[in-house]
Every structure is written in C-alpha cells, then in structure tokens.
Structure 1
C-alpha cells in the first residue's frame, strides 16, 4: 500500500504560465502525460499579455534573412486562424511608402515573398493602393502597400491553452511559485509554494523550464544544472490612445532608424501603438514604459497621421520583456525572435527541457517540438495533435453564424453583448448563458457590459482572482472602468474568493 504522505508522482512539470508553458502543458496533457503547470503570478500575466496582439510572419524579418522563421510563422498563422476563430481574426495592414526609407522594389519583393512563403487559406494577397483625401495619413503620403496578417487576444490565447491542458487532466497552478528541485535517481523532487497551503512537494520525471524572462533564475533553483546559454532581455512598450481613424485596417510604419511601429485598431474606441525595442536589465516584473519610449511612439505617429497626439492622449500603457537569444553584435531591434529547445538528461537521469526565446506566433509549433523531444522518454505517449484541434470554445467556423445561432437561443441577449461573448469565448460562453433566460439572470452589472455571471465563470473556470485578472487579461474592460467601478468589482471578488477558498 502506498504511503498517503508520500509525494505525488507526475510525468511533467512545466514552470511558467505564459504562452509557451501553457502550450506545452496542453500538448503534453493531450498526449496522455500527467502534467503540472505552476506560475508564480497570473496566467499570461507578464510578457504573454504585453505583445502587439499580432499573429504574423514578421515582414521586417525578411530583411534580416530569417526566411525559415517567417515561413514557420506564416504556417502557424493559418493554423491559428482555423483553430481559434473566436479570439483571432484576419487584419489588413497598410504600409505607407516613404521614398527615403525602403524603396518600392524592396517592398514589392518583400511582399511577394511574404505572400508565397506559406499557403494562405484565409487571407487575401498584397497589393499597391493610392491614398486620397479620405486617407488618415498626411497628404504627402500618396502610396501604400496592403497585405494581411492576423490579430489575436494574446492573454486569452494563454488561458485557452491552459483550459485545453486542464480538460486533458493537467493541474494548473497559478500564483504558485516554483521554489526548486533536487535530483532523485531518475526523477526530480520538486518544491512549490501554494497560496493557501504553503510548501508542497511532488516527484516528476521531467521539468520544462518555460519561465520566459525568468528562464535563467529558474535554472539557478535546479540542483546540478549549469547556465550555458545567454538570454538578452529586450523591453517592448505600447501606448493606447483614442482611435486615430475610423477605418478597420492597421498601419505598419517605417521609422528612419529602420524600426517598425504598428498602429492597430483596439477594442472599438482605441488605437494600440507599438512596439519599442530597448535592452533591459533588472526584474522583468518591474518593466514600465519610459518617457523616451512614449516620445518615440508619439513622434512616429505624428509624422505619419493627420491626427496628432500628445502624452495627454495616452489612456493606457504596457511593457513586456522578451527573452531573446543572445547574438554577437546584434542590436535589440535585430536580435532573432526564433527559439531554441535544450534537452538534458537520459534514461537514468532526470529530464530538463529549457525553452530559450520564441514569439507568440510560433508557440504551438514550439510546444509540439518540445513534447516531441521528450516523447522518446515516455512509453505509450500519444502523437502530435494540436495542429488540427480547435482551442476551447473554437469549435465553430464563422463568428457571424454563431451570433445568428445565439440570437435564436438567447433572444434576450443584446446583439452587442452577444458579439463580445463570441469574440471572447466562442462557445465557452454557453457555460454561463445556458443558466439564464433574461439579462437580469446574469446578475449584478459592474459596468460596461460586465455582468456577475461572466465574472463568476472567469473565477470558477479561468483562474481569475483579482480585478486586474478580469479587466486586463480575461477581458480588456480596464480601458473603460473608473476607479470606483474597479473598487466595486474588487470588493465583490474578495467576497467571492473568500467563499471559494473556504
């Protein structure tokens, strides 16, 4: 009989609840491994919720001759457009032409390659257009090039992967710091700290270090490991301002320093502007936009657009620190966005897989390759499966058709709110809508179409605990909420979490 006080056994521990960690946990759990994921903060609470929200090949990487990376990213763009139709959508981009920057022939060649490096099932090809007086750009810009990429809700992409992992039996443990691990014959003895119960130990065959910008400090907490790789921390910052223009396309703006800045329609009433690339030292959790970064983004917007902005127009900022592979003589702007997977251990030793680098677009491919590397050490492991599997809530083909279905099923639900739910949850919203027969049944209205039933769902099923979790990562309603409304939501959440924890 097994000792009830003996540590539990798992196949795999994933350290880090960002997009790579959540993706690996989902892939591994779906292949039949017993998986634990621990994250010291909220899921997707750092770099993975601070991106430009784009699933793209990276047009500018062609100039750096990273054809393999662009090809892989473009293939993944198509996969995600099919597997996550609720949180992802096609987005048309316009690239204004500035003769003193990249010449026409270079842009044409780049877009020609971009259109053809991978098969396109969902997106139209690029073209050249002439700007007229209706253009939001300054009158001196008369030519633009159009092409297509994808937009994604990055934080929800993390949550949906964590949900996929959980649905396949994984333990998902946010707000649970990884304290360290010791080698125990061919396994690891792991120590974590649970928020309610304190330290907890268990045994695992393998550890995946997917801690993002904390990948090297995590290595320090593992017995008998050495740090050979060097990570370069690069901060990317964004600003959010009232909507710059009325149309739905995004703009990709070339600066004289060869950097690219995006202006992207965001949450109906806003424009998202970014990103910067600045070398960073210190704790990634402390990353904040600098005044110089604000000036940089404002200046490039004012150079291109008729509508001018100032610091007073900024309604929100965010900064994320990307852990990029160090390259000799590379600037923060040109260092590669590719990734490297490093597996250590053997049949008679504990396994450790370190994840270095990466970008949100290629997370699924990275996860699949990571589990493939581990697979030879596990008997009866299943085959790769995520390329054709919809993410939770994504088992539908067309948002308009799903909204029409919901008009029939929930005639009491306002159309604008139904659209929100479809774009945020897909079919997952049925979890809380099926218990209601009127808008009043959704409970307390906290403001801006956020109802108690949705908040309860987020806490019970998507690991939300605080107002920040709800307003910035599970939704983006933090852009609209007043301080008083946030305080009211926090009061409710404190009562709810106290009830859940007891």
Structure 2
C-alpha cells in the first residue's frame, strides 16, 4: 500500500468533478467553506460532457406532469444565460407536425404552458409556423407542411463544468483531478478520505463534511462510506449521440417526435456539423466503458430520416459519444419516462460529519441543486452565509459588467465584434472561437501577445502553444483528449492523428513554471 504523503484538513470534501460536484464546490467556496474537490478522471469526463448540450426546461417532461421540474428548469435557464453568455446562446427549435403524432391542439397547449410556467425575459415565445414558407422547412420532406417553433438555450456542457471549477478555485477551493477517493470512513466527528493521485501517492483528507457527487458511481461510494444506509437507488440510463456533416444551412434546431414516444434533437454543431440525439436505454454495464451500439446509430439515423429529404445513414456518422445518466429510481417502466429531477440525501450520524449524496438531476438545474445542497451543509456546519451564485457571472461571462445582465447574451455579437477589432492581428475565425470559449478570459489567454509569432508553435491547425499552456495552467488539462474533446471540440476539425501528435508535443514541452 502506498504511504500517505501528507494530510489535508477541510470543511467539505466533494467527490466527483461533474457539473453537480463542480457547482457545489463553487457555491460552498464562495460562502467561505474550505473545499477540496477530487475527480478520478478529468473534469466533465463522463456524464457531464455527454449531454445534448441544452439549457432547457424540458418540454417533453410536461407529458409526465413534472410541472415543478419544468418550472424550476425554466427559471434556471434565464439565470444561466445571464451568467455565462459566452458559452451559451438562445436557440430556436422547430417541431414539424404530422397527423399521426400528438394532436396539434395538445402540442399548442403544451407550448403555451412552457412559455408561461416561469417569467421569461430573454427568449421569444412559441408560435405555429408554415413549413412551406419557413427556412426550416426546406430540408424536410414535403409532407411536413405545418409545425411549431419555440425557444430554449444551447450550452458547451464540458466548459460549463470547467468554469464552475475555476470559480471554485478562485474562491479558494482545491481542485484535484485524476485523483480517486479510494477509502472513506467516518470517525470521531470527521470524515477520513484517502485520495490517490495519478502518481500513485495517497493523501489523507480530514473533512467536516462530504458531498457524494460521483454520478454513476454515487451508489458504490455511498455503499463504501455507509453500508446498508442508503434509501435511494440510481437507475442508470444511457444516452448516445451521433454527429454528421451539416444537414441544413440555417441556425434553427429541430425536435422530432417518434412513434415510440421518444423525441430526438437535430442541432447545429461546431459550424460544419449536426448533432443528433439522444437515446434512452437502461444501462447495466461499467460506466467507464459506455459506448454507442450499432443499433443506437441505426435508430437515430432512421428516426431523423423520417423527416429530412436527404436520408442519414450510419456511414455518414463522423463522431459519436455516449454517457450514463444517474437518474433517481422511480416506478417508470420506460427509460424515457424516468424523472430528471434530483434528490438530496443527508446522513449526519445524529449531528456530526454530514454526508450528502446527490441522486439524479439535469444540467439545467445544477446551480439550484448546488445552492440547495450547500444550504443543507451550511446549516449542519453552522455557516450562516447565504447563497450567492444566482447573481454572479461565471469566469469569462462578465461581458458588460461584473454582475449578470440581460443584455449580455442578447448583445454577444456586438461584444465579439469589438474583440475582432482589438485582436485584428489574429485570424478572425480564431478570435471568434476564443471569444465563445473564454469570454473575457481571452485577455488572460492573450496577455502580452501583439502579433501571431507571439502565439508560439501551431501544434495543430488553429491550436497554438499559448492556448495549450493556458488550458494546462488554468483549466486542469493534462492530456491531449482533455484539450481536443472537452475544453474544445477541435478534435472534429484537426487532421487524423492529432491526439497522438498533441500528446507527444505536450510531453516534450512541459508547462513552464
């Protein structure tokens, strides 16, 4: 057994570096708690980078009468769009309608409810449209003549996780990636956790409280810490997506209804592509080894081909990804009907050393989940600081001021155009990508650079040494995959073999001190 190299004391240990864990670490650190977060892999390396990348209320959840969840998510949709207008943007969705589907009056009533369940300031409401005249009707089969359009938001999910971790770090939290929690026990009013880093060395953390935000591994961590004590169970649901070359030349997304009751999105993605997903399947395998199956690829291709004039075939797929969503076990027999709401389970052993386990949730409601979780922990720990994240920008999101503003997401193009002028010595496409990824942090990325030669080596097309070093220094990127597929989606745009070449370059050029 590897000997512990040193001990750490903290108020809160968060196990899990997905969106819930990072959100909780951010909120807790901002309230003055001493926080340590550990993640066995990279930030957002599992479920939180495998979403459909939407900030949405969840229109289809109305069908299951989850009005409270939808309202909560709709409120959060606006909060998040204000807080991070660089990695999010409004998106209009087109729903083609056919007589064999849900009645048009029922859909219109659902959209009316969706528009008015929560206060809406940033996004336009829904309406009926004629697809013969609307730009979104052109790629569709001619039998789809009528439809509906409504609003939601798009998000770079992996970057959302990283920004929460960055903000937690700025408030004093210690973020430890590629660090697994290998043992967890409660003793003498404290938690003792053994954390094993990538170098094989162990650190013992003594924590006043623990958050179990391990996603698909929540139940196993809880069983390790408190055998026989859990009252909640997880239902693991696999969701898979495919990416194909761009299927349409407008900026709307589509929501398609299938005869089996499922819905699938087709979303503009990375300028040149269309993202299609998702599936909903019960999953019994290893969450570390989740992957799309040929049947899922065929299902998604066949479903969207019912709508598009040009069929989508498996050979058109250029990339796929899959994730396991750890949802709250309920009575639903069909995976698509399992609730996306969350539950927080607190075990405080009669008043000492609380353990809070996170069950379920969706990316849109992560901030509210984190606020409620930290409220519970602060009460147990005697901390009286109130929640603060509802009125705070995420790193890079302060485009027009330190506090979230309606204008930021609506005037994003205006802000970006000023950057194009300020950094006119860089290719416009590069500045535009930096603006979307980093927001006002672009000034940290480019500090001291005034000409293209200052950017260092162009390691891969559009990826310069200065960005690689920034991601390693500020965003915990340690591997080529972190950079190409989570901090960015450059993996879709660079030549074959880029991951191996970038890994070799990083090994040969360690991060400067």
TM-score (norm 2): 0.94
- Of the three residues 392, 400, 417, the one matched with 2:413 is 400
The root-mean-square deviation of aligned C-alpha atoms, in Å, is 1.6
Q: Secondary structure of the equivalent of 2:429?
A: helix
Deviation at 1:286, TM superposition (A): 0.7
Give the gaps of 5 or more residues in structure 2.
400-407
Q: What is the match of residue 455 of structure 2?
A: 442
- Of the three residues 371, 376, 397, the one matched with 2:374 is 371
Q: What is the match of residue 494 of structure 2?
A: 481
**Where does 1:417-496 land on structure 2 (aligned, <5 Å)?**
417-496=430-509
Is the contact made by 1:130 and 1:144 (CA closer than 8 Å) also made in structure 2?
Answer: yes
Deviation at 1:379, TM superposition (A): 3.3
Q: Secondary structure of the equivalent of 1:478?
A: helix
Deviation at 1:7, TM superposition (A): 3.0
**Where does 1:40-59 land on structure 2 (aligned, <5 Å)?**
40-59=40-59
Distance (Å, rounded) in 1 between the aligned partners of 2:149 and 2:26:
35
Q: Secondary structure of the equivalent of 1:377?
A: helix
Deviates more, 1:472-481 or 1:188-197: 188-197
Deviation at 1:144, TM superposition (A): 1.3
Is the contact made by 2:351 and 2:380 (CA closer than 8 Å) also made in structure 1?
Answer: no
Is the contact made by 1:233 and 1:324 (CA closer than 8 Å) also made in structure 2?
Answer: yes
Match status 1:261 vs 2:274: no
Deviations 1:388-429 (A, max 9, x none): 100000001232232233234323122221111111110112
Q: What is the match of residue 174 of structure 2?
A: 171
Is the contact made by 1:32 and 1:381 (CA closer than 8 Å) also made in structure 2?
Answer: no
Q: Secondary structure of the equivalent of 1:62?
A: helix
Deviations 1:176-221 (A, max 9, x none): 0001212121111111102236111020000000001110111122
**Where does 1:58-207 land on structure 2 (aligned, <5 Å)?**
58-132=58-132, 135-196=138-199, 198-207=201-210
Distance (Å, rounded) in 2 between the aligned partners of 1:5 and 1:318:
37
Distance (Å, rounded) in 2 between the aligned partners of 1:264 and 1:78:
20
Is the contact made by 1:23 and 1:162 (CA closer than 8 Å) also made in structure 2?
Answer: yes
Deviation at 1:6, TM superposition (A): 7.4
Is the contact made by 1:324 and 1:337 (CA closer than 8 Å) also made in structure 2?
Answer: yes
Distance (Å, rounded) in 2 between the aligned partners of 1:496 and 1:352:
41
Q: What is the match of residue 23 of structure 2?
A: 23
Distance (Å, rounded) in 1 between the aligned partners of 2:49 and 2:6:
37
Distance (Å, rounded) in 1 between the aligned partners of 2:497 and 2:61:
44
Q: Secondary structure of the equivalent of 1:293?
A: helix
Q: Secondary structure of the equivalent of 1:150?
A: strand
Q: Secondary structure of the equivalent of 2:306?
A: helix
**How has the CA–CA distance of structure 1 residues 6 and 482 changed in structure 2, closer, same or farther, with 3 Å as cutoff?**
closer
Corresponding residue pairs, total: 497
Distance (Å, rounded) in 1 between the aligned partners of 2:227 and 2:289:
29
Q: What is the match of residue 404 of structure 2?
A: none
Is the contact made by 1:209 and 1:354 (CA closer than 8 Å) also made in structure 2?
Answer: yes
Match status 1:413 vs 2:439: no
Is the contact made by 1:185 and 1:348 (CA closer than 8 Å) also made in structure 2?
Answer: no
Deviation at 1:494, TM superposition (A): 1.7
Deviation at 1:346, TM superposition (A): 5.3
- Of the three residues 197, 208, 211, the one matched with 1:208 is 211
Distance (Å, rounded) in 1 between the aligned partners of 2:493 and 2:332:
43
Deviation at 1:132, TM superposition (A): 1.6
Distance (Å, rounded) in 2 between the aligned partners of 1:483 and 1:142:
41
**Where does 1:324-339 land on structure 2 (aligned, <5 Å)?**
324-339=327-342
Distance (Å, rounded) in 1 between the aligned partners of 2:380 and 2:231:
24
Q: What is the match of residue 287 of structure 1?
A: 290
Is the contact made by 1:186 and 1:347 (CA closer than 8 Å) also made in structure 2?
Answer: no
Distance (Å, rounded) in 1 between the aligned partners of 2:356 and 2:458:
45
